[in-house]
Chains A and B, each alone.
Chain A
Amino acid sequence: MSHADAHPDFLRHHFHTPKQQFEAGKLGMWLFLATEVLLFGGLFCGYAVWRGNHPEMFKYGSQFLETKWGAINTAVLITSSLTMAAAVTAAQRDNRRALVTLLSLTLAGALVFLGIKYIEYSHKFHEGWFPGMKFYEKPDLQHAKTWDHSKPIIGNEPFTAAAGATGQASQSAAPTRGGPEAEPSTVALAAIGPAGLRPGALEPPQPAHDDHAEAHTTHPLQDPQRPRNAHMFFNIYFMMTGLHGLHVLGGVLLLSWLIIGAVKGRFSAQYFTPVDLGGLYWHVVDLIWIFLFPLFYLI
């Protein structure tokens, strides 16, 4: 062994110096972060395609998100990113107590974020604003406080006429679609009529970009101004924030592991690689949220 300095415990056999090991870890982590960026990049592409082609879907759907919670969560994540970055500095300065405190604060931030996300999600599920086809299921009426029994479900498509009406689906205003099994009971809906014929009784609550501070008084299914395929907004919203949420959950596990290591004194000014790499991961989770927040909440 021709190494000038002794092999410290944390240095793995195939590295020559701690610096080499540190830089290898860091390069590996950056490459991993690049894969994370591309993984979310696919979802951002889906977002861009729908937002680009159907801006009305997003304008509409965004009303169902509360900017308040989104902004608070942004602040929470930024703060926890700050404490994480400070934790790395603490580790580099051999300040174990500060390291444990700062890591714990970061973990607390992650948990608060998840808690708020839970509040948001459960509110949406409660109201029946589901992703996928469940969006079109009638919510459980006892629990959905804003579901208005008196208002019917609106199934027509305001944009059909404008779209040029070539495809089969375009001529699908609800009553005509009754087709072979045409039920007389659907006749009542004819009163709602096709696009543009909004009876006053069904006056939509508020314009699209009113700042949705309070909850809607109708389920989107009862809203005649609901754009076609309105569920796609919720699909993309739940997919993107859900995958992001899973990454936060991963961050919780990672931070817990780092805290245990810090308490046991595994890290020092010579060896803080795990803290540094965990920090990089955590910052990328923050980074993605920084984009998700305006793209969904601030429309």
Chain B
Amino acid sequence: MTTESPDNPPSSHGVGHIVPIKTLVATGLALLVFTLITVWAAKIDLGDLNIWIALAIAALKATLVVLFFMHLRYDRPFNGIIFVTSLAFVALFISFALTDTKEYAPDVDTGNAPRVVEALDELQQ
């Protein structure tokens, strides 16, 4: 039962796509390398750029996981559509909420929260 034809016929036999171990190991190694790169990149102070670099590397790693470990590259496109849709909704949610809070946060944040102030007062006695 080693290799069936990779794109399986619509029979009931051998469902799903078999991803060779070699591909998986290569993906895993790439992920580990990217982890090292991101740790190293974080040590260089690039100001605001750091977070975007870190996120870009994380997104790259995530793409690798999704495409190869999770078989999305070989899967029905609709499964991918679902996943991308969920990410799009998260992006929508974050961007709207962030747009809003960015606008009012500077006006309302003027110090420690009331219960923090209380707790600190208590501690200092």
List the interface of chain A (C-beta within 8 A of B). Answer: 5, 17-19, 22-23, 26-27, 30-31, 33-35, 37-38, 41-42, 44-45, 48-49, 51-54, 67, 71, 74-75, 78-79, 81-82, 84-86, 88-89, 92-94, 133, 136-138, 152-153, 155, 157, 159-160, 163-167, 169-170, 172, 174, 177-178, 183, 185-186, 189, 209, 211, 221, 228-229, 231, 269-270, 272, 276, 279-280, 283, 286-287, 290-291, 293-295, 298-299
A177 engages B121 (CB within 8 Å): yes
**Can you give 12 contacting A-B residue pairs, CB < 8 Å?**
A19-B12, A35-B86, A53-B105, A82-B28, A163-B111, A165-B110, A169-B112, A229-B116, A269-B14, A291-B58, A295-B54, A298-B38
Within 8 A of A (CB), among B79-121: 79, 82-83, 85-87, 89-90, 93-94, 97-98, 101-102, 105-117, 119-121
| B residues in contact with A42, CB < 8 Å | 93
Which residues does chain B contribute within 8 Å of A82, judged by CB atoms? 24-25, 27-28, 31, 69
Contacts of B94 in A (CB 8 A): 41, 44-45, 48
Given the complex of chains A and B, what is the CA–CA distance between A165 and B14 in angstroms? 69
In contact, A26 and B75 (Cβ under 8 angstroms):
yes
Main DSSP-derived SS at the B contact region: helix
Report yes or no: A44 in contact with B90, Cβ–Cβ below 8 A: yes
Interchain CA distance A241-B98 in the complex, whole Å = 22
A64 to B10, CA, bound (A): 55
Taking CB atoms, residues of chain B closer than 8 Å to A183 are 125
Does A19 lie within 8 Å of B10, measured CB to CB? yes
A186 touches which of B62, B66, B124 (Cβ 8 Å) = B124
Judge whether B112 and A229 touch: CB under 8 Å: yes
Chain A residues lying within 8 Å of B16, measured Cβ to Cβ, are: 22, 26, 92, 272, 276
In the complex, the answer to whether B28 meets A79 with C-beta atoms within 8 Å is yes
Cβ of B112 and Cβ of A81 under 8 Å apart? no
Residues of chain A lying within 8 A (CB to CB) of residue B65: 81, 283, 286-287, 290
A160 touches B110 (CB 8 A): yes
In whole Å, how far is A106's beta carbon from the nearest beta carbon of chain B? 12
Task: Knowing A19-B12, A22-B16, A136-B119, say if A48 contacts B21 (CB, 8 Å).
Answer: no
Pick from A19, A138, A231, A269: contact of B116, CB below 8 A: A231
Report the minimum CB–CB distance from A9 to chain B (whole Å).
13
**Contact call A84/B20, Cβ cutoff below 8 A:** no
User: With A and B bound together, what is the CA distance between A160 and B121 in angstroms?
Assistant: 16
Which residues does chain B contribute within 8 Å of A155, judged by CB atoms?
117, 120-121, 123-124
B59 nearest in chain A by CB position: A291
Question: How far, in Å, is A240 (CB) from chain B's closest CB?
Answer: 14
CA–CA, A164 and B90, complex, Å: 34
Q: Is the CB of B51 within 8 A of A31?
A: no
Across the interface, which residues of A come within 8 angstroms of B15, CB to CB? 18-19, 22-23, 270
Report chain A residues within 8 Å CB of B102.
52-53
A174 to B124, CA, bound (A): 8
Given A31-B82, A45-B93, A136-B123; A169-B76 close (CB under 8 Å): no
Distance in angstroms between the alpha carbons of A53 and B85 in the assembled complex: 27
Residues of A within 8 A of B61 (CB): 290
> How far apart are the CA atoms of A166 and B43 in the complex, in Å?
38
